[in-house]
Amino acid sequence: MRNYSDIVIAGGGMVGISLALQLAGVMPETTSICLVESFPFPQISPDGKPQYHPSFDARSTALSYSTRLIYEQMQVWDELQQWLCPIDSIHVSNRGRFGSTLLQAAEYDWPALGYVVENAWLGNALIQALYRQDRVEVRSPAKVLGVTPKGEGVSLRLEGDSVEELDAGLLLVADGANSGLRDALGVVVEEKSYQQHALIANIATAQEHRGCAYERFTDEGPLALLPLLPGPAGENRSALVWTLPPDQAAEMLDCSAAQFLQQLQLRFGYRLGRLLQVGERHSYPLALMQATEQVRQAVVVMGNAAHALHPVAGQGYNLAMRDVAGLSAELMRGVAEGKSIGDLGVLQRYRQTQLGDQERTIGFSDQVPSLFMHSDPVLGLARDMALAGLDILPPFKREFVRYAAGVAEMGGQANG
């Protein structure tokens, strides 16, 4: 007898597990859900510390207010809170120019503009939540080798301890920006290289960040320092995302810690006092990647497999989470209407619902870095006035913050 699952999620990273938890919480009890991950899932040690998983690397993730609302619905937020550093304010500036603005959560009666969490702790909370519930079947290590249409659904060829066939009503592809399954399905990807690398590391500073995130635009690219919880010895820490040309990124990756901190201090300034220490450094190339096809009968491409963004303003993961919420809502609606779980009309409705959010968010993350790197003096003056104008025009500033936090896309859910 062939195995069957209503929904199969290919990819057990942060988006894949979030999909599984969201669907397990909202879909009817009769809907079977299977999560397939090629890397062995880590077991949670008695002290609660996460073990290594490649999807939960040394990076940190900025969670928007909209993502908080989604994780609250999943009942993950309470456990996650102990690892979160709230963003109480965001200071946006342009190096060498007068324009700057300060966005503050208190001005909008929000608990925070966003939150920063190290990926290892986010992954730990998600995996613990996955282990606690009994709705989702986890197959790990296992990999989807092939997909063929079958009736209203698909037939999957899985490789784990052995090769087996698994029929599914709906396949959700969430195996990352370099998705082999997306490519195997023949989904075309459009890619725009930024000819830059993002250098990431944790930085210890002399002064407390006081919950302030810094987004500083330079002629080489954006530089962000995001607030983190104190280190083991109580040291002040921030997560660095430094965009540089590839050759400079390589130089900063290989130079001594003292040289690195000296160059970073020159670019960032002394808003956090002296920069005292840098942790392990990593670098990766930056590109805008978009799948030209996100839905077809019984198939949806999700997360970084659907769209990988420039890290400016930390919008990529939060957009993926809004897609997770949007898809689950449409699947619930489709089931209530008596449609099959992989009905193309239902999936196209999801795609249309999320299209505006995706286009605005991708356009913002794509255009802002190049806008601030442009050397034209007239354009530079316009940028400065625009940043200063956010403080002068409160209604415009409020709308800007709502979009940055992702709540403008969520309607009434954003209240509170």
| Beta sheet of 85-87, edge-to-edge order | 60-64, 114-118, 85-87
The model's pLDDT over 220-237, given as tens digits with 9 standing for 90+, comes to 888 889 999 998 889 999
Does residue 87 sit within a domain?
Answer: yes
Residue 298 · residue 168 · CB < 8 Å: yes
For 140, the domain range is 3-191+287-414
CATH of the domain at 180: 3.50.50.60
Distance between CA atoms of residues 229 and 330, nearest Å: 37
Looking at residue 242, its amino acid is W
Does residue 225 sit within a domain?
Answer: no
Distance between CA atoms of residues 83 and 228, nearest Å: 9
The model's pLDDT over 350-379, given as tens digits with 9 standing for 90+, comes to 999 999 999 988 987 887 666 544 444 433
Does residue 402 sit within a domain?
Answer: yes
pLDDT in tens, the chain (416 residues): 358 999 999 999 999 999 999 999 999 999 999 999 999 887 666 665 656 555 555 689 999 888 999 999 999 999 899 999 999 998 887 754 434 677 888 887 788 888 999 998 899 899 989 988 889 999 999 999 999 999 999 999 999 888 899 999 999 999 999 999 999 999 999 999 999 999 999 999 999 999 999 988 777 888 889 999 998 889 999 999 999 999 999 999 999 999 999 999 999 999 999 999 999 999 999 999 999 999 999 999 999 999 999 887 678 999 999 999 999 999 999 999 999 999 999 999 999 999 999 998 898 788 766 654 444 443 343 334 343 443 434 544 555 555 555 544 444 344 33
pLDDT of residue 102: 77
Does residue 199 sit within a domain?
Answer: no
Distance between CA atoms of residues 43 and 138, nearest Å: 13
**pTM of the full structure:** 0.87
The model's pLDDT over 22-76, given as tens digits with 9 standing for 90+, comes to 999 999 999 999 999 999 887 666 665 656 555 555 689 999 888 999 999 999 9
Does residue 197 sit within a domain?
Answer: no
Does residue 244 sit within a domain?
Answer: no
Does residue 279 sit within a domain?
Answer: no
Does residue 62 sit within a domain?
Answer: yes
Distance between CA atoms of residues 226 and 214, nearest Å: 6
Into how many domains does the chain fold? 1
